Structure 1
Amino acid sequence: MKISDGNWLIQPGLNLIHPVQVFDVEQQGNEMVVYAAPRDVRERTWQLDTPLFTLRFFSPQEGVIGVRMEHFQGALDNGPYYPLNILQDIKVEMQNNAEFAELKSGSLSVRVIKGEFWSLDFLRQRCAYYRQPVEK
């Protein structure tokens, strides 16, 4: 099914749903699991009838962070499946406080900011990767 017209425009009749705010963060083994909502969920009444995205961050190898994003996971697991060379005993560090949640593997980390606005950053040695503007 084609959902865009090839020019990064959304076809009429389709609505994009994307994360807006972090709802909860859990540590499950060596994974950081982030539940994100597509609208503001600070108030309990705003949480009614709100879908959640599940983002799973894991480290298959040192210095590598994998991401799985799920919405309407369902009972049937139809894939797609991609072979991953996952090493056992990878040391990861997780930090979860009131401001952000972070998973670190080697010199690479992923950080999700908690608060009003969605922010997901990949950092190498604590510095965000930003492309520098080219000076003419």
Structure 2
Amino acid sequence: MITVQNTIHASIDKVWQFWTLPKHIQNWNIAIDTWYTASVENDLKVGGKFKYKMLKKDKSLSFDFEGIYTKIENLSLIEYKLLDNRTGKVSFEKNENQVTITEDFEPVKEDSESMQQEWCQTVIDNFKKYIEAF
């Protein structure tokens, strides 16, 4: 299991909204600056599907990051299962006027765990920069 984490200086309501609304996800869901999130579908409920269309800026490569939500606890927990059956969860821990976000997920076997951890840490760091600048 890989774990990434960051503390966001914002209210839990704002953090939850920016983490789950497609119009915001497209702006922070970036692991490498040569890629971007072209589109987002997000049906935030147990059994609901999510799909992030990832595209290389030169349009030479793309992939879909998609899965199904398996558990939702409003303002505190999101658990999911990806199409390849890997699982993950994102927890939101409120502490006064800040929220610690922790994401745990099963890595793919094709890429090194350290590289996957770096990519996901970059995404969560981008989320922090995006929301705190808003």
TM-score by structure 1 length? 0.30
Greater C-alpha Rg: 1
Select the structure that is richer in helix: 2
Higher relative contact order (Cα pairs below 8 Å, separated by 6+ residues): 2
